[in-house]
Chains A and B, each alone.
Chain A
Amino acid sequence: DGGITQSPKYLFRKEGQNVTLSCEQNLNHDAMYWYRQDPGQGLRLIYYSQIVNDFQKGDIAEGYSVSREKKESFPLTVTSAQKNPTAFYLCASSKGQGGFYGYTFGSGTRLTVV
């Protein structure tokens, strides 16, 4: 079955540490995205990539970094520069720019700073 896999499901980070969230898809989708969800805030775009070896900042990219070395993979690193990293992180992918059929989302990673 094709899908998008995020790991781990839960992640705990000490203050000052960098952590990397994994996102893998086997849907042969061109575009991949990272969103952050906070209570009452909806989904906010962190980074997106329309093609391998290229990515663009979204609305809240500060304190985050990404890479897109393979079509299937789009890992997100939450750096120590991110002041409020505790949130639910969602990865998504789309064929083209996801018009009529939108994006396919992973099941999310909940990151907690301890």
Chain B
Amino acid sequence: AQSVAQPEDQVNVAEGNPLTVKCTYSVSGNPYLFWYVQYPNRGLQFLLKYITGDNLVKGSYGFEAEFNKSQTSFHLKKPSALVSDSALYFCAGSYSGNTPLVFGKGTRLSVIA
């Protein structure tokens, strides 16, 4: 069965430092991978996606993610964290373009000033 895992429930980083939020996937075939962010009492906002092409994907708000097929990972990164990046981050995957997304359980990112 396809699945997405986020091994860290919480990530703390100092403002200005680089941040990484980890995601691994188990999806048959060619995976479609996504990152979403959720702020309190809000729905999910799309950050970026990987479908095919370059392994390094750039998204909204300065975020990027690297698709690594050999390690089955799709980690979210940002060179310099902002306090306003503090939120709940979800990795999600699908094994084709017309099947529902399977989400990881989320990682809470706290950026400390």
Pair from one complex: no
**Contact surface of B with A, Cβ cutoff 8 Å:** none
**Contact surface of A with B, Cβ cutoff 8 Å:** none
